[in-house]
A and B are shown apart, each in its own frame.
Chain A
């Protein structure tokens, strides 16, 4: 299997004025295969967002290398799409205007082909009838769907998602997880999904990278053995509870070892 994403011995520290520097990531190495769905799971502050910034070329690592499709990451690239924790839509555009925003923002013109593509993506995320709506008329879950469509506009190979559902209420969150699985089965992308929710990671992923905080390191990698397509029944699988307990146990144990 070809590698979509490679982190090799990546260390990231932040210099702070007049204080000791913060080491956010320490000697981080992992690989993600093409069209794999991998979650990065860890408590907040363990460097998950830093990892995503490095991968999207917004930040250069202090040490080590990051590669996407076997090319070293030296800056932002078009084959990586990002979905953030908050939808961060632009209230002065309607829904479809937000989906086509990346094209305009790059200084390109929105051709009819792009318009069609935006409509197609809105249909994919279940918002076909909402394309002319103002974004502040949409619920939080719907807004996040728009931002997923926006991230897919340039047809990236890789989709990076930074705790995309953590600002949603619990019910919407579950609904969005299944929606994401459906979208992913339609557009097979490599997905790096950042979360601090164990069930979310287990339900969605092929593989979970569990991280420890301060500095962020890979604690363990876990394969999710559940068959696809996944459904409500996956949650009832006895191995689901088993793995969930296992991960929770190791995160708690690690937390107990941390100097406070």
Chain B
């Protein structure tokens, strides 16, 4: 192998690492070169300092508060959306009754409703979980509904010719066929739930990473806000890859063939 080929291979392998380091380097150099004040854009070194400036226990408690809402919202969205999709795909009438309501909810800017939700539901995690749910549930419903309609008509004929019940048809044929679509909906939702939890904390919270972003920026402590941002991105990516792992472990057949190797 020639040297240039080796370089190519290395770049491919560590692509993300190389480009991220480059961005951090440019950022650090740029901030000091152009004398940008740290309350506008702190250099990465300041951000690292801010991360260690707050006790680990504090970071943990803020992260835990946000993650609790993220996971509860994700769980609620999954548990509501899939049965809803089953109901929608069960008949044209059910679909024409349910779909308009869902679209109306989807069309409502959740950020605008959030203060109302807080007023109605009061303090506690409930209102934030609801906001998270409202932001994340729609893609799961849509993709699951699409997936449930994808079972080949021959298999539905086979099911009918075996005199199987509607539930068995759903469980043995329609739901498994919908699995790849349900998971792509879950992947989209897994990133939306983090947004949802932060929106909830912006409106009302005493703890959490979204709350900390608001609090620290109001004190011109942008570096701490950047640390929160980094953590939120990290949680998003983690949840996203967890969904992928669950799919690969529980439903390996549902992945495209070349992806399973």
Count class of interface residues, chain B = 20 to 34
CB distance from A241 to the nearest CB of B (A): 34
Do A105 and B251 contact each other (CB < 8 Å), given the known contacts A82-B157, A86-B152? no
Q: Does A90 belong to the interface (CB within 8 Å)?
A: yes
Nearest CB in chain A to that of B167: its residue: A107
What is the 8 Å Cβ interface bit string for chain B, positions 5-49, against chain A (1 contact, 0 not)?
Answer: 000000000000000000000000000000000000000000000
From A82, A84, A86, A105, residue with most partner B Cβ within 10 Å: A105
Pairwise interchain contact B161-A105, C-beta atoms closer than 8 A: no
Nearest CB in chain A to that of B157: its residue: A58
Enumerate A63-78 residues with CB–CB distance to B below 8 Å.
Answer: 75-76
Pairwise interchain contact B158-A82, C-beta atoms closer than 8 A: yes
Pairwise interchain contact B157-A106, C-beta atoms closer than 8 A: no
Pairwise interchain contact A107-B152, C-beta atoms closer than 8 A: no
Pairwise interchain contact B163-A92, C-beta atoms closer than 8 A: no
Pairwise interchain contact B154-A75, C-beta atoms closer than 8 A: no
Chain B neighbourhood of A76, CB < 8 A: 160-163
Chain B neighbourhood of A107, CB < 8 A: 164-165, 168
Q: Does B172 belong to the interface (CB within 8 Å)?
A: yes
Q: Which of B168, B172, B253, B254 contacts A134 (CB under 8 A)? A: B253
Chain A neighbourhood of B172, CB < 8 A: 90, 101, 104-105
Q: Which of A56, A75, A88 contacts B152 (CB under 8 A)? A: A88
Chain B neighbourhood of A84, CB < 8 A: 154, 157-158
Q: Does A102 belong to the interface (CB within 8 Å)?
A: yes
Pairwise interchain contact A88-B163, C-beta atoms closer than 8 A: no
Enumerate A105-137 residues with CB–CB distance to B below 8 Å.
Answer: 105-107, 134, 136
Q: Does B155 belong to the interface (CB within 8 Å)?
A: yes
Q: Does B173 belong to the interface (CB within 8 Å)?
A: yes
Distance of A136 Cα from B256 Cα, bound (Å): 11
Count class of interface residues, chain A = 20 to 34
Pairwise interchain contact A85-B163, C-beta atoms closer than 8 A: no
Chain B neighbourhood of A58, CB < 8 A: 157, 160-161
Q: Which of B161, B164, B165 contacts A80 (CB under 8 A)? A: B161
Distance of A92 Cα from B180 Cα, bound (Å): 12
Do A105 and B157 contact each other (CB < 8 Å), given the known contacts A134-B253, A136-B257? no
Chain A neighbourhood of B176, CB < 8 A: 90, 92
Nearest CB in chain A to that of B169: its residue: A105
What is the 8 Å Cβ interface bit string for chain A, positions 86-97, against chain B (1 contact, 0 not)?
Answer: 101011100000
Q: Does B159 belong to the interface (CB within 8 Å)?
A: yes
Q: Which of A53, A75, A90, A101 contacts B157 (CB under 8 A)? A: A53
Chain B neighbourhood of A141, CB < 8 A: none
From B157, B158, B257, residue with most partner A Cβ within 10 Å: B158
Pairwise interchain contact B161-A88, C-beta atoms closer than 8 A: no
Pairwise interchain contact B162-A106, C-beta atoms closer than 8 A: yes
Q: Which of B152, B159, B253, B254 contacts A105 (CB under 8 A)? A: B159
Q: Does A140 belong to the interface (CB within 8 Å)?
A: no
Distance of A53 Cα from B158 Cα, bound (Å): 11
Chain B neighbourhood of A92, CB < 8 A: 176, 251, 253-254
Pairwise interchain contact A86-B154, C-beta atoms closer than 8 A: yes
Distance of A101 Cα from B173 Cα, bound (Å): 11
Distance of A136 Cα from B257 Cα, bound (Å): 9
CB distance from B161 to the nearest CB of A (A): 4
Distance of A133 Cα from B157 Cα, bound (Å): 25
Chain B interfacial positions (CB closer than 8 Å to A)? 152, 154-155, 157-165, 168, 172-173, 176, 251, 253-254, 257
18 A-B Cβ contacts within 8 A? A56-B161, A75-B163, A76-B161, A76-B162, A76-B163, A84-B154, A86-B154, A88-B152, A88-B155, A90-B155, A91-B254, A92-B251, A92-B253, A92-B254, A101-B172, A102-B162, A105-B159, A106-B162
Q: A91-B253, A106-B168 are known contacts; what are 17 more A-B pairs with Cβ within 8 Å?
A: A56-B157, A56-B161, A57-B161, A58-B160, A76-B160, A82-B157, A82-B161, A84-B158, A88-B154, A88-B155, A90-B155, A90-B172, A105-B164, A107-B165, A107-B168, A134-B253, A136-B257
